[in-house]
Amino acid sequence: MARMVPPIKITADEVNCLIHAYFEDSGFQHSAFVLRAEGQLSSSPNYAKHIPRGELVELLSKALLYAEVEAHWKGNSMTANCKSSFSLLERHVCSLDPNGTGLNGPNQAAQPMEVDQQAAQPQANGAVGMNGTADSVAKRKATTPAADEAPKEKRARTVPPDDNMQVDGVATPAVKQTQDQAASSSASSEPAESKKPSKPKRPQGPSDDVTPANVVSLLKGHKTEVFVCAWNPTKKNTLASGSRDTVVHLWNVPDSKPPATAVPPKIGPPMTLSYPSQSEPGDLTSLDWTQDGSLLAIGSYDAILRVCSTSGELYFSHTQHEGPIFATRFSKSGRWLLTASLDGTVCVWDIHEKKLHKQFQCHKDCCLDVDWLTEDIFASCGADGKIQIMSLAHARPPKTLIGHTTEVNQIKCSPSRARIASCSDDRTARIWNIEDIVYNRPPNNDVVVLRGHSDTVSSIAWSPVVAEGEHEILASSSFDGTSRLWDSVTGDCLRVFQDHKRHVYALAFSPDARFFATGGADGWLHVYDVKARQKRWSWYAGSEKPGIFEIDWQQSGNINRMALALESNQVGVVDVTRVPLLQ
């Protein structure tokens, strides 16, 4: 007699791989590293398998839906009208009170409903499934499971978009909405054939009817998700892109000759710089060119710093860091290079000498970003919620900026070099005065706190041009699906843009400051007019792996274009000169 194969099989290795993927999606890199080492996942056959973003959350959500069917299969008045929610950590008690206080009032405990374990098995044709598709993923960040909890996950969770997202308030938890929809569908007695057909998927391309469909050239060559991209500041046709598998491509992208032709220029195969990681994930996190465009610094999860020339040759590399490198920044002169790492340190590299100049222990936890204030003073931010102002001449920080209540995701120095902007998981952005450090003026410790986002503030950007007599403008984007423009002096929110249906990952101003663009997990690129504060143009990346992770906008002479790092393993190049709505 043939041996029966169990219909359901769950192995510890599969669970470990799911938890490892959740840790990486959530930005818990140290926890992921420990689990990977202790669980020996690198040698597991499951480790190389593709685990969709938010897979663990989706499976747990399905388990909750099954628990709902199990508890409510009896069609009595209590189960039909139950208002009590379901939780992973609490036993469900049916109640007519949405707050779960029970039938007899708040002072009497509700009685748990007995469940017939055998009869509660759902029929094969009545299985309850999720109602949406997985959100796309970012490099580090994401959304909160509920509006009143502190940010936990660092990437997008697996829930459908919430069309009722509030702009200035708290977003409605989408997981609960999905459960309610699925529960109501499971209670229906209609056969599966009578269900409405799903909506056709929106095709890739512009949202308007006047922009040519080929205005975006898609560069194919990467085999995994493209996380970063950067135009060379002097060799205008050179574009660098980096992907999950530690591969950097250098593309030669010819510019369109004026007047813009109907056919985009042909782009040949890239120069490939491949640095396979032997044991660690090799996701590329940062690409930064020297101002003269001669060298490219590459940050990666494998903790190895690499600096390459435009010809593709490795200028030098180093393994000083003990954790993933999250940011690389050249100084204006190109002599110094900063690297920020999960190990909590910032390394300053002497590029001419090809060696480590000094390593600063800036943060107790991981260091997430760095930026230069002057040629020898820089700032760093980390998961400890602090911003450290450091000088190459001193081992200790001359100034520490404290105010954020949890990790600080980005810092950006203003064009005037007088202030720093920061954004955090605490749902705020902040403006700090650093004139005493940069210009040796009297200290001004006033902090402008920008409040309004209802989720992690993932990105910030200063407007590169400031009109005479006006205040500097800051843009912010968040996992609440919105982006905002702020007066950086008064702290006033100038406009809220709510066009994205999922997390906003990327944010960039045009160099002339006329526009700023956002890209998100929903696959949309939106371009806004800064002065009019209105959306001007949109482009959709497609329904399969739609995420837009990074935007780099290039303007020079007749050149006006954006580079997009796409989850679909491609690099997008948007020829802005051929978009009628942006002229």
Angle between helices 55-72 and 174-187 (to 10 degrees): 40
Name the one residue in this structure whose structure tokens are 């660098």.
240
Phi and psi at residue 138, to the nearest 5°? -105, 180
The confidence score (pLDDT) of residue 2 equals: 54
Task: Please check whether residue 126 is in contact with residue 9, taking contact to mean a CB–CB distance below 8 angstroms.
Answer: no
Distance CA 389, CA 336 (A): 16
What pLDDT digit, counting tens, does each position of 440-482 carry? 999 999 999 999 999 999 999 999 998 888 999 999 999 999 9
Contact 392, 348 (CB under 8 A): yes
User: What is the average pLDDT across 151-180?
Assistant: 37
523-554 core/surface letters (b: 16 or more CB in 10 A; e: else):
bbbbbbebeeeeebbbbbbbeebbbbbbbbbb
Cα 456 to Cα 480: distance, rounded to the nearest angstrom:
7
| Cβ atoms 343, 375 nearer than 8 A | no
Distance CA 472, CA 489 (A): 7
3 band by pLDDT with thresholds 50, 70 and 90 = low
Does the pLDDT of residue 236 top 90, yes or no?
A: yes
pTM (2 d.p.):
0.70
247-252 and 271-274 strand pairing:
antiparallel
Domain ranges of the chain: 52-105+127-161+170-187
Mean pLDDT of 519-526: 96
Q: How many helices (H) and strands (E) does the chain have?
A: 6, 33
Most confidently modeled range among 81-85, 140-144, 341-345: 341-345
Half-sphere exposure of 376 (CA within 13 A, CB side): 7
Render pLDDT for 192-207 as a digit per residue (tens, 0 to 9).
444 556 678 889 999 9
CA distance 325 to 388: 18
